[in-house]
Amino acid sequence: MTLWTSAEIAAATGGIASTDFTVTGVTFDSREVVPGDLFVALKGEASDGHQFLDQSSERGASGAVVSVTTPHPHVLVADTMAALEDLARAARARTAARIIGVTGSVGKTGTKEALFAALDRCAPGAVHRSVKSYNNHTGVPLSLARMPAASRFGIFEMGMNHAGELAHLTSLVRPHVAMVTAIAPAHTAFFPDESAIADAKGEIFAGLEPGGIAIVPFDSPYRDRLIAAARPYAARIVTFGVDDGADVQAIETMRSASGGTFVTARLGDQELSFTVSQPGMHWVSNALAVLAAVDAVGGDLALAGLALAELGGLAGRGARLTVPVAGGDALVIDESYNANPSSMRATLAVLAAEPAVRKLAVLGEMRELGERSDAYHADLAGPILAAGVERVILVGEAMAALANALEGKIDFVHVADAAAARDRLQAILAPGDAVLIKGSNGVGLAAVVAGLAGGMT
């Protein structure tokens, strides 16, 4: 199906089309081009997309957005980044879809994917969402530009690490429903305290469409701060959580035989019982936020419950792999994509509940935590011990503070990088083990998971 014509792209961006063409997708990464794509040649700090126009054409791109002339079919504009945002605005303007914006310190991507699964049950093939973690100044407009005009629902993840960034992104997305999943210490190097993080996350509400709905975590210590941020823009504010008083409340939870959680939730005068396939109370919170959003856009709550029961783990964010080791199998819990103090505690609690011969952990340093970095790392000693972890591999320079806190309390080793962590883990992993692998993305622990998934001898 045609996503954009060259004439529509030119009209949206104020550019000039070299010829007529149509595209079925949009990308700014030449390595991801598939036949029919529009390649947007962005100029970055490290590279210039115009250097890859031949490559994108060879891979089947139907056209490109460029700021210099090229023999390939193109739309010529003054600034390709501005053009991508213009195309995003045009995509948002032409759709009648109900739009949901999702942000938060933790849980953004998982909640976005769960929302997609829930809404796709009632509108199969008509739900669009951000892919991967395309949630920044380039990823959000790209995700918007990719939205088919006939979509019934659109779900967009928005992230930030500085104040003011979400205000711009939400002005592009213009959500009918804006959600904050949770507030936690993340990117604290760029904020004086967690209340400032809450304020920055609260910027999402400024983009709400008239009559829009704000969804706020009731159990958060920053609930009232977020409600105050939403009040000038939201026609209605909906809270979710476990504590009494939440509009969408888990009134009963019980660990299921499969490792997930059986939940009975109350939404106004309705009650819904369902299973969350993903383990941990943080996923119960995510599920309640999903129900609040599905209800807000008129989706089917019963179908949402079925989707939550069948939701699979995401690579780097809770995927569970059974890997062969000499004499049997071991379980790997892949949380390698990112880490902050809150998500570390949540996933260690998941490991604690896991039946296993031994519980192991490979924990990479948490980055962008600023002057409190040592304290945040050292504070993980308690959750590690409470989880019953027998051996832990600490990765990265910032983990020195945690190593000091664990001295004499647990068997651990502190290594410099992911390659060393992989070698150490391969040397000790045994049948019946459950190992949590988690750290900031820049540590590269995904390579450890990939090595295990490839098989061990």
Angle (nearest 5°) at CA 339 between 334 and 341: 125
Per-residue tokens: 9: 């792209």
**pLDDT tens digits along 149-203:** 999 999 999 999 899 999 999 999 999 999 999 998 877 778 889 999 999 999 9
Per-residue tokens: 30: 């030449």
Confidence of residue 457 (pLDDT cuts 50, 70, 90): very low
Axis crossing angle, helix 165-173 with helix 194-201, rounded to the nearest 10 = 20
The enclosing H or E element of 301 equals helix 301-309
**pLDDT tens digits along 329-380:** 999 999 999 899 999 999 999 999 999 999 999 999 999 999 999 999 999 9
> Which residues are CB-neighbours of 274 under 8 A, at least 6 positions away?
262, 263, 265, 287, 304, 305, 306, 308, 309
Q: What pLDDT, on a 0 to 100 scale, did the predictor assign at position 360? A: 97
* Percent above pLDDT 90 for the chain: 89
Contact yes or no for 299/307 (Cβ under 8 A): no
**pLDDT tens digits along 73-99:** 999 999 999 999 999 999 999 999 999
Identity of residue 425: L
Please, what's the b/e burial string for 184-209 (b: 16 or more CB within 10 A of its CB; e: otherwise)? bbbbbeebeebeebbbbbbbbbebbb
Measured CA to CA, the distance from residue 18 to residue 36 in angstroms comes to 17
Measured CA to CA, the distance from residue 422 to residue 323 in angstroms comes to 14
Fold (topology level) of 95-309: UDP-N-acetylmuramoyl-L-alanine:D-glutamate ligase (3.40.1190)
The CATH number fitting domain 319-453, selected from 3.20.20.140, 3.90.190.20, 3.20.20.70, 3.30.413.10: 3.90.190.20
pTM of the model: 0.88
> Which residues are CB-neighbours of 99 under 8 A, at least 6 positions away?
92, 153, 154, 155, 156, 173, 174, 175, 176, 177, 209
On the CB side of 385, CA atoms within 13 Å amount to 13
Angle (nearest 5°) at CA 350 between 345 and 355: 140
Say which range, 9-23, 125-139, 143-157, has the weakest mean pLDDT: 125-139
Query: What is the greatest pairwise CA distance in the chain?
Result: 71
Contact yes or no for 335/346 (Cβ under 8 A): no
**pLDDT tens digits along 277-330:** 999 999 999 999 999 999 999 999 999 999 999 998 888 888 999 999 988 999
Question: Beta 248-255 vs 261-267: how paired, if at all?
Answer: antiparallel
Confidence of residue 133 (pLDDT cuts 50, 70, 90): confident
Domain limits of the chain?
4-78, 95-309, 319-453
Domain 4-78 sits in CATH at: 3.40.1390.10
Neighbours of 216 (CB within 10 A): 29
Q: Which residues pair with 289 in a beta bridge?
A: none
Helix (H, G, I), strand (E, B) or coil at 171: helix
* Percent above pLDDT 70 for the chain: 99
